[in-house]
Amino acid sequence: MKGLKKKLADNMLVLRNSHQSTTVINVKGCPIGGESVVVVAGPCAIENEDLLKETAFKVRGSGAVMLRGGAYKPRTSPYSFQGLGEEGLKILARIGEEMNMPVVTEVMDSEDLDLLCEYTDILQVGARNMQNFSLLKKIGRIDMPVILKRGLAATIEEWLSAAEYILAGGNSQVILCERGVRTAETWTRNTLDLSAVALVKELSHLPVIVDPSHGTGVRSLVAPMARAAVAAGADGIMVEVHPVPERALSDGDQSLTPKGFSKLMKELEPIARAVGRRIY
């Protein structure tokens, strides 16, 4: 801890000693970073309107308060489904409004910022773009909440420094997201670092959420890691849900079914209460 503090300048905006209180980010009446734990859920990719509407209806009914869905999908293979683009954004906005759920989607290119700001409530900077400093600087100049995911192998210092780019630009609405880092382990997609949640909440005033779907890549591990994330102090979790995961065009192996998500939501409430919080 002492070594890390020495690496980070005392005057950094991201640090707790630069801020009198813990930051709470309000998104359409939903607070992120307060006493409540928020749950964001939805499919990895927006495949079509009917599927997103079905998923949103079911996760909303189980207690999720925000809807996620990718319109621009960064994929390892250029031949994999890349998302619906602007049409996906329009679908996401329509269904979010119908369900009274703020919507979250990933920004891939600074040229798409104006379009994304028109249709979404929270921007997400993915792991691959955590150190895309040009993009971070431009996001720093807009007035919109942003989820900043930890990079594929980023240190805590690098992650917080990336957040500093956004804060330094004037945008204080940053939500940090632990989504696992790449290690030598091959049984899981990534290694979910829940110690980072407790450490970053000690160092920084910013809210921290956890993505157990990307953090594990294994459907059976998502619920245990979501429960552990709440116990570790996470301000929220972001979970991928698909009505028929085996037919999903993206990340089906790590997506919960609506039934599995409903079960998880029932499990989270007593854990939240045990650590002095509640599920929003």
Q: What is the pLDDT of residues 167-201, one digit of tens each?
A: 999 999 999 999 999 999 999 999 999 999 999 99
Task: Determine the 3-state secondary structure of 117 from DSSP.
Answer: helix
**The total number of structural domains that make up the chain:** 1
Res. 244: pLDDT tops 90? yes
Assign 211 a pLDDT band (cuts: 50, 70, 90).
Answer: very high
Whether 83 and 54 have beta carbons less than 8 Å apart is answered as no
Res. 2: pLDDT tops 70? no
Whether 277 and 35 have beta carbons less than 8 Å apart is answered as yes
What average pLDDT does the segment 224-232 reach?
98
pLDDT of residue 90: 97
Res. 234: pLDDT tops 80? yes
Kindly report the CATH number assigned to the domain that includes residue 43: 3.20.20.70
- DSSP one-letter code for 107: E
Q: What is the pLDDT of residues 118-177, one digit of tens each?
A: 999 999 999 999 999 999 999 999 999 999 999 999 999 999 999 999 999 999 999 999
User: How, if at all, do strands 278-279 and 36-42 pair?
Assistant: parallel
Assign 5 a pLDDT band (cuts: 50, 70, 90).
Answer: low
Pair of tokens at residue 270: 């007593």
d(CA 216, CA 233): 19
d(CA 157, CA 169): 19
Q: What is the pLDDT of residues 97-124, one digit of tens each?
A: 999 999 999 999 999 999 999 999 999 9
Can you give the pTM of this predicted structure? 0.95
Full residue range of the structural domain in which residue 147 is found:
2-279
Assign 275 a pLDDT band (cuts: 50, 70, 90).
Answer: very high
Whether 156 and 135 have beta carbons less than 8 Å apart is answered as no
Assign 78 a pLDDT band (cuts: 50, 70, 90).
Answer: confident
Task: Determine the 3-state secondary structure of 152 from DSSP.
Answer: coil
What average pLDDT does the segment 199-224 reach?
97
Res. 4: pLDDT tops 60? no
- DSSP one-letter code for 170: T
Task: Write down the mean pLDDT value for the chain.
Answer: 94
Whether 169 and 140 have beta carbons less than 8 Å apart is answered as yes
Res. 51: pLDDT tops 60? yes
